[in-house]
Amino acid sequence: MGCQPGYRIWGTRVAFVLLAILVAAAAAPARAAEPRPNILLLLAEDLGPRVAAFGDPVAVTPRLDQLAQEGTRYTRVFTTAGVCAPSRAALLTGVHAISTGSQHMRTSDKGYRSVPPPEVKAFPELLRAAGYATFTDFKLDYQFSGTRSGSGPFTVWEDEGFGTHWRDLEGDRPFFGLVNFLETHESGVFPRPAWPRSAAHAVMQLVHLFLHRGHDEVVRPADVPLPPYYPDTPLVRADVARHYNNVHRMDERVGEILDQLEADGLLDSTVVIWTTDHGDGLPRAKRELFDSGIHVPMIVRWPPSLRPPGAEPGGEDERLVSFVDLAPTILALAGAPVPEWMDGQVFVGPQSAPERPTVFASRDRIDESEDRQRAVRDARYKYIRSYRPGTPGATHLAWRDVLDSMRELWAHHERGELEGAAALWFEPRPEESLYDTWSDPHEVRDLARDLEYAPVLARLRGALDAWLAQRVDWGVVPEDRMIKDMWPGGEEPVTAEPVIEILGTEAEPRVRLSTTTPGASLGYRVEGGPWRLYTVSFPASPGTRIEARAVRYGWAASASVRASVPSLR
C-alpha cells in the first residue's frame, strides 16, 4: 500500500530547499521596491460551512457575509484530516500529515513530536526567508511543536503569543499573520455552567465563559436543522444551537479584526483569508472523514489592486481545494519560491495549477482510540477505506463524551433506540465505503456494494492506490516503532549547536552560521535583540555580540552559542 516510511525519497531534495531559501533571501531586496501584500489568515476552529453566505439559513454571520460580498467564496475546500493537529501540520507544511509522521491525534498524547523530513519547512518560515514579518497567537499545535506558543520551532514565527498583533512587528515589511478563533472550538459546546465532569471541562468552562461573556444567544434550539444521524432531542438541539451562537461570537471577532485593518489603513493592502481548521465540533463530524468532518468554508478578500482575473467581489469558486494548497498559494501571493516537495498546488493567481480532480484525507489514532482510514473525494463521490473493518465509527473518547449530545447518543444507543441513519455510526464499518455527496450530502447511504456504482468504486479505489504509492505513509508503521525511528531509543534528539564563523575583512566582517544537523533551521540575534531567521551570511560591526541557536523540527533546540566580532586593532 505505497512507499514504506523513511527519508530516502526526501533526502535528495535538501539542496533544493537550501537553494530556494538563498534565492529568496537574495531576491528580497530587489522585490522590496515592488508592492507585496500583507496576508492575514483567519482560522476558526471546528466549523463546517455554517455561514449565511454559504447558504446556511440559520447562521447569523453578518461580518463574514460582508467579507464574502467583498471577496470570493470557495465552496469546495477540504481539510486533510477531520481533527486539528494533523490538519494544522498539513496546513503549515503543505504536505499531508501521513508523510511527516504527524497523522496521529495528537503526538503529545504519546510523549513525542513528529519529525518531518529534513527539507520540510513551515511556510511562515519560508515567508520570513523571503522578507516577511510573521506572527501568530497562542495556538500552535502542529505536531512538530507543542500546542501553545513558545513550544517551537522558534524559527517559524517572528512573534507569537497572547495578544500578538501586526502592530507589534518591527520594521517596514509586509506581514503574514495567522489568527485563531477558539470561540467555535468543540469545547465551546461543552455544558456551561455545570458541575465539572473533568479537569479539562472545568478549565474550558472558564475559558468559554470569558470568551462569550455578555454575548447574546441569537439562535434558539427550536430553530436548528438536524442531520438525519442525530436523534431529535432537547439536548442535541441545545448543543447545535450553542454551536451556532459560538459561530456568531466568532463572526463578531472577525469584524473587530477587519475594523482594525481598516483603521490602520491596511485593508486595501492586505489579502484576508478566512477558513476553518476542519469540520464541526459536534458528534459524527469532528474527527471523521465524512464531509461533516473535512468540508470547510473559505473566503478570500483581495485588495482591489491585487485582485486576480475572475475573482470579482461576491463571486463563488467551485474548484476542489485541499488544505495542503494553502501553503504554496500563500507563498506565491508573497512572491516567494514554492518548494517542489510540497503536496499542495497554487489555486489562484498567475501561478495557478490546473484544477484538482480529487482531494485526499486521512484518519489515524484519535486520542485514546486506534484507527486508520484513508479517503479520496472528487467533485461528487467520496471513497473511504478502513484498515480496521468491523470496528464501529463511534468510540468512547473522554474529551468528546463531555458533550451532552454525545452522552445522549450513547444513551439512546445503549437502549437500542437509534434507528436508520442515526444508528449507522455505531455499527461495524466495512472495508470500503462509497457515497454520492450530491444525492446524499450527509453520507448515510453506502453505495460500495451497489453494482451500478462499481465503475465509480473502481475508479476512486485506483485513485487512492495511486496516490498512496507516490508518497510515504507513516500509518503503515505502528506508532511506537515510528517514534523510535524518529526519536532513536525513544529519546528526544537535540539539535547540534551552531558554529559561528567570522568571514570577510577585519574592517568589513561578515557572520556565517552552520550546523551539522541535517535540515536544522538557524536563528540569531545581535546584541540581545530579537531573534532573526538566518539565511545567508550577514555583515556585523567589529565588537558586535552574536548569539545563535539551531532547531530541527520535532527535536529539541540547541543550546545558544555566543561570539563577538573581533574589534579593530
- State the DSSP code for 94: S
C-alpha–C-alpha distance, residues 76 and 78, integer Å: 7
Handedness of CA 310, 311, 312, 317 (dihedral sign): positive
Beta bridge partners of 376: 360, 383
Nearest-angstrom CA–CA distance, 51 and 35: 33
How many CA atoms lie less than 13 Å away from 454 in the CB half-sphere? 2
Residue 110 CA, chain-centre distance (Å), reads 21
Alpha helices in 321-388 (DSSP H): 326-333
Catalytic residue among 21, 39, 67, 84: 84
Contacts of 488 (CB under 8 A, 6+ apart): none
Query: Which secondary-structure segment (H or E) carries 521?
Result: strand 521-526
Helices (H), 286-424: 291-294, 326-333, 404-414, 421-424
- Peptide bond just before 488 cis, omega within 30 deg: no
Among this protein's residues, is 84 annotated catalytic?
Answer: yes
Structural contact between residues 546 and 564, judged by C-beta atoms closer than 8 angstroms? yes
**∠ CA(534), CA(41), CA(259), 5° rounding?**
120
DSSP string, 244-272: HHHHHHHHHHHHHHHHHHHHTT-GGGEEE
Note if the bond before 337 is cis, omega within 30 degrees: no
Catalytic residue list: 84
